[in-house]
Amino acid sequence: MNEANDGASSQSSSQSPLSLAETGEHSYTDVCYGAEGTIQNINGRDYRTYCYNSKWNGFVGMGYLPTLEECESKYNGYTTSATYGFHWYPGSGACYLFVDKSAQLYVYHYGTNEKIFAIPTSLPAETPLCPLATKEGEVWKINGKLYRLFCRGQAKVDAANIKQLGKASSNITECEEFSRKENGELFHWYQSYQAEAAGDSTGKRNCEVVTSWPGPKRLVPLRTKNSYMAAVPYSGKEEDVEIAGEIDD
**232, part of any domain:** yes
pLDDT at 112: 56
**15, part of any domain:** yes
Last residue of a domain, one of 120, 153, 171: 120
Q: Do residues 13 and 76 both lie within one domain?
A: yes
Radius of gyration of the chain (CA): 19
**127, part of any domain:** no
Integer CA distances (angstroms), 232 to 44, 218, 221, in order? 40, 11, 15
Last residue of a domain, one of 88, 120, 152: 120
**1, part of any domain:** no
**11, part of any domain:** yes
Q: Do residues 160 and 212 both lie within one domain?
A: yes
- Number of domains, the chain: 2
List, for the chain, all residue ranges whose pLDDT scores fall below the cut of 50.
Answer: 1-29, 195-199
Q: Do residues 101 and 16 both lie within one domain?
A: yes
pLDDT at 157: 93
**243, part of any domain:** yes
Q: Do residues 159 and 211 both lie within one domain?
A: yes
**21, part of any domain:** yes
> Which range marks the domain in which residue 88 is found?
6-120
pLDDT at 72: 97
pLDDT at 197: 45
pLDDT at 39: 87
Instruction: Please list, residue by residue across 81-119, b when 16 or more beta carbons sit within 10 angstroms of its beta carbon and e when fewer do.
Output: eebbbbbbbbeeebbbbbbbeebbbbbbbbbebbbbbbb
**130, part of any domain:** no
Q: What is the CATH number of the domain that holds 10?
A: 3.50.4.10
Question: Contact, 5 vs 76, CB < 8 A?
Answer: yes
pTM beyond 0.85: no
